Structure 1
Amino acid sequence: MTATQETRLRYLYSPSGEANHPHEEVLSVYRDHGVIPKSSRSDNFNKTPDNIERYLLVRPGDLVVNRMKAWQGSLGVSDHRGIVSGDYEVLRPASDSVSGRYMHYALRSRHMVGEYRVRSTGIRPSQWRLYWDQMGDIRVSLPPLEKQERIAAYLDAETSQIDTLITEQQRLVEMLRERRISVLRSAISGVACGGSIGGSDDWFGSLPEGWGAAPIRRHFSVNLGKMLNANKDEVEGAEAPYLAAGSIQPETLLLDEPKTMTFSSPELEHYSLRSGDVVVVEGGAGYGRSHYLRQDLPGWGFQNHVARLRSSTGLVDGLFATYCLKACLASGHIEANNRTATIPSLSRDVLGAIRIPVPPASDQRQIAKYLEEQTARIDTLIAESERLVELSQERRAALITAAVTGQIDV
C-alpha cells in the first residue's frame, strides 16, 4: 500500500471469540483511557461476577469495543493481555498493514465516533448497541504503515503533553474542593474562635465557649412539598410552577424552565417560598443539597422531594444554616444517616434531627459573610480549571481527528 486508502473495518479486523484463560487480569474499556486493567481505576464500581465463563481473552493489539457505549467512544486497541466481559466485542487484526497505535487514535477520533452513533441500534441512547455487522461496514482512512507509525508517534508525544496538563488541572480541582470543605467545616465549627472539628460526638466537633448547638427542628419548621398530581384534571385549583429536586444544584438554583402542577389557593400559601427560606433535596441522587433563598418566589410551590426550612425562632440565620447543611453533607454525616436501602433520601424527621452549631447572631452573620467570600473565590478557581480541562480535551480530540484525516502534516 503506497497511498492513503479508504478501507472497510471488516477487512482489517475479525471477531476473535477466544475464550478466557484462567487467572487472567480483568480489563475495562473507558472512553477517555481506552483498554486498561480494571484494578487500575478506583472509580469502577462494576463488580466482576463470580462466573466468568463468558469472558473473552484479549491479546495486545486486539481492538476491544464496548457495544453499549461505542457511540460515546468507549473502545480502544489494547496494550494489555487480559479478559473482558462477553458483552464486549473483541476484534483481532486481520491484516499486517495496520499499526495498532494508529488504529487506536483513528478509531476513537470524532468522525469515527459519529459513525458509531449512526450505526448503533436501540430505542434510546441507554439501550443503543453497536454490533460488528454494522461496525464492519465503516470505512477508515488507512495510509501506508510507515506513515501510520509516524502519525501515532506524533500523537503519542502531543497528547502526552495535553494529558499531563489535564491531570494537573484535575488534581488542582480536587485540592480546591477539599479546601472548600475544610473552609466550610472550620468556619461553622468556630475553629478561629477556639472550636475544633474533633473532640465531640457531634459531626461538627467541639464548639467555642458561648456557642450552643441544637437540632434544626428547634429553630426551623421543616415541611415537605406537595406530591405531584397523578391526574391534573381531577384536582381543583390553578397551574403554578414548582421547585423540583433537580432545580437545587450544588451552588445554584435552576428556575429557567419550571414544571407546573395544580395548587389550590390554600396549598399555594402553605407551599410558598420566601426570602430567608432554605430548600433541601429530600430524595434521589442529589439528596442533602441545600440552597438559601435570597428573594421571594411569588406564585411558586415546591414538590414532595424538596424540604423547606423556615425560621420559627429567628435565632438562627438561614444562610448560616445553609452553610451548616453544606458542611454536614460534605462531612458524610447525612449519608451516614441515610436509612433507605434503595433510593437514598433524607426524611423530614432525619433532617429535623440534624444538630447544627448555634453561635451568637453577630457571629452567624460574620461567618456567613466570610464563607460567601471564600467559597466564591474557590468556586471561581474551580470553574477556571474545569474550563481549561474542557478546552484541553477539545484540543486533544481535534488534534487526533486532524492527524488521522490528513489535515495536518506530521
Structure 2
Amino acid sequence: MPEHWEVRTIKSLAGKGYKTFVDGDWIESPYIRAEGIRLIQTGNIGIGHYREKEFRFIDEETFVAFRCTEIMPGDVLICRLGDPVGRACLAPNLGVRMIASVDVCILKPNESAIAAFLVYAMSSPVYLEWIGSLVRGSTRDRVSRSMLGRFCVPLPPLPEQTAIVEYLDAQTSKLDAAIAAARREIELLREYRERLIADVVTGKVDVREVAVQLPYEPPEEEAGTEEEEPVAEELATVDSQEEANGEE
C-alpha cells in the first residue's frame, strides 16, 4: 500500500450526527405491504452491486412506529449475513423511500471517504476473505455491527479515491456489458433449442429429407461373431489331425 494512504476502520468513516452507522430495522411479516416504503433486504445486496428482487414494502405508520432509518441513494449498504458476509453496495435510486432489514448495516460516510470507493474496497476478495475467516465456524455466518465497524479499509486521499472510482467504473462497465451480451446469447440459444425440439417432435419440422442425406452406418455385428469362425476352423483342423494319426 502506498505510504501516503491511511488505514481506517469502517466505523471511523461514518458521518457525524444521528444514525450514520446503524443496523436496519426488524420488520416482521404482518407489517409487510404491497406498496409504500421499500424494504431493502440481504438478498438485494450483491458484491459491489444492487440486485433488484424480492419487492417488499411497509407503510408510513409502521415507519413512524418503529422509528426506522431511512436510506438515501448513495448510502453504503453492508450485509452482515453470509454468502459472503461483509459484501457491500451503494443504495440505489428507486424513486421511492427506502429502509433496510436488520441484517443490513447502513453507512453514511463522512467527508473523508467517497461511498463508491468504499464499496470497491469492501468488494475486494482480500477484504471478504478476511471477514469470512473471522466469522467462520458458526452455524450461520453473521457479523455484528460493532465487529464490522472494527474492520479496516485502505483510504487514499480524496483525489485518488475519485480517480480509482472513475477508472474502475469505466473498466467494469465494459465487462458488465460483455457479460450481459453473453447471457443474452445463451438465453436465445436455449430458447432456440427448446423450440427446435418442440417443432421436431410435433411434426412441424419435416426431417425426412435430412435423414436421407445422413451417411449410412451398417449395423454393428454381434459381439463374438468374429471369434466364433476361427474357433470352429481350429476345431476342424484338430479333428482332421486326430483322424490322420489314427489311420497311421
Query: 1:265 offset after TM fit, Å?
Result: 6.3
Residue equivalent to 1:224: 23
State the Cα deviation string for residues 213-237 of structure 1 (Å, max 9, x = none).
Answer: 12211212531111123665xxxxx
- Map 1:34-183; keep pairs closer than 5 Å: none
Q: Are 1:283 and 1:344, in contact at CA under 8 Å, matched by a contact in 2?
A: yes
Distance 1:209 1:387, change over 3 A: same
Of residues 208, 214, 217, the one that matches 2:2 is 208
Query: 1:211 offset after TM fit, Å?
Result: 1.0
Distance 1:340 1:223, change over 3 A: farther
Of residues 199, 204, 208, the one that matches 1:407 is 204
Q: Which letter maps to 2:165?
A: A
Q: Which letter maps to 1:396?
A: R
Q: Are 2:76 and 2:89, in contact at CA under 8 Å, matched by a contact in 1?
A: yes
**Alignment TM-score, normalising by the size of structure 1:** 0.42
Residue equivalent to 2:187: 390
Distance 1:334 1:401, change over 3 A: farther
Residue equivalent to 2:140: 343
Query: 1:292 offset after TM fit, Å?
Result: 1.4
Q: Does 1:264 align with 2:64?
A: yes
State the Cα deviation string for residues 349-394 of structure 1 (Å, max 9, x = none).
Answer: 3322221111011000111111111111100101111111222222
Q: Are 2:84 and 2:132, in contact at CA under 8 Å, matched by a contact in 1?
A: no
> In structure 2, how many angstroms separate the alpha carbons of the residues matched to 1:231 and 1:257?
15
Q: Are 2:70 and 2:97, in contact at CA under 8 Å, matched by a contact in 1?
A: yes
Q: Does 1:366 align with 2:163?
A: yes
> In structure 2, how many angstroms separate the alpha carbons of the residues matched to 1:280 and 1:253?
13
Residue equivalent to 1:252: 50
Q: Does 1:304 align with 2:98?
A: no
**What's the secondary structure of 2:38's corresponding residue?**
strand
Unaligned runs of 5+ in 2: 15-19, 211-248
Percent of residue pairs bearing the same amino acid type: 25
> In structure 2, how many angstroms separate the alpha carbons of the residues matched to 1:208 and 1:335?
25
Distance 1:296 1:240, change over 3 A: closer
Q: Are 1:272 and 1:298, in contact at CA under 8 Å, matched by a contact in 2?
A: no
Higher helix share: 2
**Alignment TM-score, normalising by the size of structure 2:** 0.67
Q: Which letter maps to 2:12?
A: R
Q: Does 1:379 align with 2:173?
A: no
Flag as ranges the 4+ runs of structure 1 deviating above 6 A: none
Q: Which letter maps to 2:63?
A: F
When the two chains are superposed, the root-mean-square deviation of aligned CA atoms in Å is 2.9
Larger Cα Rg: Structure 1 or Structure 2? 2
Unaligned runs of 5+ in 1: 1-206, 233-238
Distance 1:344 1:297, change over 3 A: farther
Residue equivalent to 1:290: 88
> In structure 1, how many angstroms separate the alpha carbons of the residues matched to 2:129 and 2:106?
21
**What's the secondary structure of 2:123's corresponding residue?**
helix
> In structure 2, how many angstroms separate the alpha carbons of the residues matched to 1:379 and 1:308?
26
**What's the secondary structure of 1:226's corresponding residue?**
coil
> In structure 2, how many angstroms separate the alpha carbons of the residues matched to 1:390 and 1:330?
34
Q: Which letter maps to 1:399?
A: L
**What's the secondary structure of 1:337's corresponding residue?**
helix
State the Cα deviation string for residues 177-214 of structure 1 (Å, max 9, x = none).
Answer: xxxxxxxxxxxxxxxxxxxxxxxxxxxxxx11311112
Q: Are 1:338 and 1:346, in contact at CA under 8 Å, matched by a contact in 2?
A: yes
Query: 1:256 offset after TM fit, Å?
Result: 8.7
Q: Does 1:279 align with 2:77?
A: yes
Q: Are 1:329 and 1:335, in contact at CA under 8 Å, matched by a contact in 2?
A: no
**What's the secondary structure of 2:111's corresponding residue?**
coil
Which protein has greater RCO, CA pairs closer than 8 Å, 6+ apart?
2
How many residues align structurally? Answer: 195
Q: Are 2:38 and 2:96, in contact at CA under 8 Å, matched by a contact in 1?
A: no
> In structure 1, how many angstroms separate the alpha carbons of the residues matched to 2:95 and 2:143?
24
Higher strand share: 1
Query: 1:328 offset after TM fit, Å?
Result: 4.1
